Amino acid sequence: MDYKVALALAMPLGLGLAAFGSALGLGKAVASAMEATGRQPEAATKILINMATGCAFIEALTIYALVFAFVLAGKL
């Protein structure tokens, strides 16, 4: 198997796996933040800030995977 064939097969799978992991992570983060806000409504601002920061880091990892896929697509 040529490296181009392996790359063409692995790239979409890896990108899909990164997107799926990101979706799971974001869903868990938002669900936990909503649960925490329900338990302690007076701390909603702090919870929101921490959740938004965590979501930004999760999304950054997904964007890195997308950029990496675009770079590798140029090798095909």
- pLDDT tens for 15-73 read 999 999 999 999 999 999 999 999 999 999 999 999 999 999 999 999 999 999 899 88
Cα(75)–Cα(59) distance, rounded to whole angstroms? 25
Domains of the chain: residue spans and CATH: 3-73 (1.20.20.10)
pTM recorded for the entire structure: 0.80
Q: Write out the H or E segment, with its range, that includes residue 63.
A: helix 44-73
